[in-house]
Chain A
Amino acid sequence: MLPELGHFALVLALVLAALQAFFGIVGPALGRDRWAAATTSAVAGQFVMVATAVGILVYAFVNFDFSVLYVAENSNSALPLMYRIAALWGAHEGSLLLWIFLLAVWTLAVAIASRNLPERFAARVLGVLGVLSFGFLLFTLATSDPFRRLIPAAADGRDLNPLLQDPGLAVHPPVLYTGYVGLAVAFSFACAAMLEGRMDPDWARWTRPWTTAAWAFLTCGIALGSWWSYYTLGWGGYWEWDPVENASFMPWLVATALIHSLAVTEKRGLFKSWTLLLAILAFSLSLLGTFLVRSGVLVSVHSFAADPSRGRFILAFLGLVIGGALTLYAWRAPLLKSNAGFDLLSRESFLLFNNILLVVAAATVLGGTLAPLIADTFGQSSLSVGPPYFRPTFLLAVIPLLLLLSVGVHANWKRGHLEAAVRPLLVTLVVAGLLGAAVVFGAYGGRHALAIIGFGIGSWIILSSLLDPVDRLRRHLSLSRAVLGMTLAHIGLAVAVIALTGVESYTSESDIALAAGASAQVGGYDFKLIGTQPIEGANYNAIRATVIVTRDGQPITTLYPESRTFWVQQQTRKVAGIYNRHGTDLFIALGDDLGAGRWSFRAQIRPLITLLWLGPLFMALGGALALSDRRYRMARAAARAAPPGARGEAY
């Protein structure tokens, strides 16, 4: 009974989304203000329906309703509560529902905040969001209904994929999807401006906080995914340039460019059509990611079960939505001219290079990811592209960008005026270089001397970013949250660069075979196997190894890597033993039983890896700080204080 209600709620949501799209887009186009006003009601209604559907599905999971096919395929009577809830997004149908739900949440948030926006513009934004909701709901109901019944009901479920039975599942997809879906807001703001045929002077200021928020979530989501695969996949890798990973990285790169382009548009009314294009591109890459994961088009460890008919549907949807937006762009963007100018070494100039390099980086990743497909189209069927391709080509675009960053933060708008910054920049450059050399030769004995470049670039960014804020604080001047946020985010990036340099250059890794009592040396640490014992968990049997780690005779820690075999699916998942010592991870994962009491292990020493998680955290915090800046809140207060009729402008 309840699942049918859930299905029905989705159908109602579909209808409401259609109304939302209709009222929001056709209303303002025909000048019907009452229709435009009705859009927010449709938004609220759609949200309630989608939330109801989600609630019903969660209820079905929590209460072991194996008459629902999706629950039967992804749950089990022995599955702990946390995973029963998280299993909601454990497979294709449920993760789509999560997408739809988050889209409804973002839309609701926009609707609430849009009381401060001109009515017709706001209606158009919500209307475009309605089109997106409609498409996803239609896709779900037509091909991927999570409420399909299993008749007769299964006696017990097939259990959640063991690889997913981990706390990481509880956080990574929701956070990541919040970011993905949030880019739809910037997309809708762009479409609304194009539908209007003009860009309000405040358009960039309205769009910016939404974009920064989505970007911050995406940053966290990607970092969480990386961290999760690091400790759960058993070989300690954190980024494989896998197609699905790339699918989340590309929107992030373009969203970063978008944030910076919005800054220029907000400040000087420049780059308007670039900003529109970036907003379209960022969300397009989000949609493309959704497509790649579900269509079976590419080989990936992360993909959901492949289904060509689903792939065709999403591709058609992609084609219509993005094609439509790009057609609007071709039609309206030429109208957005500006006659403002700027100097060669101005802030605008640096930001232009910044954005172009980010887009080049994203295009490089896209090219590499789709290369097997492209080659296939031209008859070359076995091309394969992996990290050895992505690493050098990605760095090609990114290293110039990182260098320009240190200089660019000091450039003034329009005129640049970098002369005053030349000396501090040179000084910080030298200091950064020395710091890099100190680390490489002092801590690592001069191995991998190229790491000086990575450490040097990271340090330079940090020092350079701090020059201005520190100077202002010294002179007892105030620092806006926008500037603080920007500084923190740039420092976060630098921290990540330093971490990557350290981890990639100085990781020690070894596959070792140990019998009880034996030990092996890896990266200066001694790993000694005490023994293994079988244990039983909530829904699995495991072998747990006890490994003592020492260095120069001093005991450091004891690690307990496990290999868990889940009862239902008989699949194995590794849980690594990790200990962090002054920023370095001591990592050991259990491998195979080699017979005669010997086991294989993978041991790694990963220096500076804590910074790899800290960097993105700083970036996201910086973004959060920036979007809470006074000027966004002041505008809201001013709008509320103005008399009611003042908001709507003459069209």
Chain B
Amino acid sequence: MSDPALQARYQVLIHELRCVQCEDNSLADSDASIAADVRRQIRDMLNAGKSDREIKGYLVSRYSEFILFRPEYSWRNAWLWGLPLFLLIIGVVIAIRVIRQRVALVDNEDDADTSHT
């Protein structure tokens, strides 16, 4: 593609979309003829000035959300995107509670061993 900005968007898109005929490959990593066709479709739509959202929206309307490697940011997927942060918060809370408990216990002890290993 001639325009470097469009080329950059193109590269991102073909890595974020699934090859619909393959097991688990992106459009970028597929030899299938339909993948080549969809890549060409994306190039055409980019050259026609469509936004990434419109391009993805068109393909999702034809092939369902399954074609997206990046799940949509929607309320329906909120649990998926929120999960990592949720787990992290729980983990940190657990860590803090354990540490508090142990710090309270440490003052009653002698300090026999103060090495690294």
Contact = CB atoms under 8 A, between A and B. Distances in A.
Given A235-B28, A382-B65, A384-B68, A367 B16 contact: no
B31 A386 contact: no
A540 to B, nearest CB: 17
Contacts of B66: 382-384
Nearest to B112: A414
Name the 10 nearest CB pairs between A and B, nearest first. Answer: A386-B69, A341-B106, A341-B105, A388-B70, A393-B84, A382-B66, A356-B91, A382-B64, A235-B29, A364-B84
Contacts of A521: none
Interface string B4-35: 00000001000110100011111011010000
Interface stretch (A20-28, A108-116, A346-354, A527-535): A346-354
A591 B31 contact: yes
Contacts of A380: 76
A553 B117 CA distance: 55
A388 B84 CA distance: 14
A235 B25 CA distance: 10
Contacts of A386: 16, 18, 24, 26, 68-70
Given A300-B24, A341-B104, A342-B106, A360 B87 contact: yes
A352 B71 contact: no
Interface residues of B, number: 49
A360 B86 CA distance: 10
A299 B65 contact: no
B92 interface: yes
Nearest to B68: A384
Contacts of A417: 114
A396 B92 contact: no
A352 B80 contact: no
A413 interface: yes
A319 interface: no
Nearest to A342: B102
Nearest to B93: A356
Contact size range, A: 35 or more
Nearest to B63: A382
A295 to B, nearest CB: 15
Contact of A388 (B11, B16, B22, B65): B16
Contact of A410 (B80, B103, B116): B116
Contacts of A509: 11
Interface of A: 233-235, 237, 240, 242-243, 270, 299-301, 303, 339-344, 347-349, 352-353, 356-357, 359-360, 363-364, 367-368, 371, 375, 380, 382-389, 393, 396-397, 409-415, 417, 468, 480, 482-483, 509, 591-592
Contact of A352 (B16, B22, B98, B105): B98
A389 B31 contact: no
Contacts of B109: 340-341, 414
A352 B99 contact: yes
B105 A360 contact: no
B67 interface: yes
B116 A347 contact: yes
A342 B103 contact: yes
A180 B70 CA distance: 30
Interface of B: 11, 15-16, 18, 22-26, 28-29, 31, 64-71, 76-77, 80-81, 83-85, 87-88, 91-92, 94-95, 98-99, 102-109, 111, 113-117
A317 B38 CA distance: 43
A243 to B, nearest CB: 8
Contacts of B84: 360, 364, 367, 393, 396-397
A344 B26 contact: no
16 contacts: A242-B24, A300-B23, A339-B105, A342-B103, A343-B103, A343-B106, A347-B116, A363-B87, A375-B80, A383-B65, A384-B71, A385-B69, A386-B26, A386-B70, A389-B80, A413-B116
A340 B103 CA distance: 9
Contacts of A341: 102-109
B22, B92, B116 interface centre (most CB from chain A within 10 Å):
B116
A360 B88 contact: yes
A103 B117 CA distance: 33
B14 to A, nearest CB: 10
A375 B117 CA distance: 46
Nearest to B70: A388
A344 B71 contact: no
B80 A413 contact: no
Contacts of B85: 396
A388 B13 CA distance: 11
Nearest to A270: B102
Contacts of B91: 356-357, 359-360
Contacts of B24: 240, 242-243, 299-301, 386
A401 to B, nearest CB: 11
Contacts of B23: 299-301, 303
Contacts of B11: 509
A388 B69 contact: yes
B80 A385 contact: yes
Given A340-B109, A414-B113, A414-B114, A385 B88 contact: no
Contacts of B68: 384, 386
B35 to A, nearest CB: 11
Contacts of B18: 384, 386
Contact of B94 (A343, A356, A375, A482): A356
A172 B103 CA distance: 45
A386 B94 CA distance: 29
Given A300-B24, A415-B106, 8 more contacts: A299-B23, A300-B23, A340-B105, A364-B87, A368-B80, A371-B80, A384-B65, A389-B69
A383 B80 CA distance: 10
A412 B114 contact: yes
Nearest to B100: A344
A383 B77 contact: yes
A371 B81 CA distance: 11
Contact of B80 (A240, A299, A367, A592): A367
A298 to B, nearest CB: 9
A415 B114 contact: yes
A364 B82 CA distance: 10
Contacts of A480: 117
B71 to A, nearest CB: 6
Contact of B106 (A237, A363, A388, A414): A414
Nearest to A359: B91
A417 B103 CA distance: 14
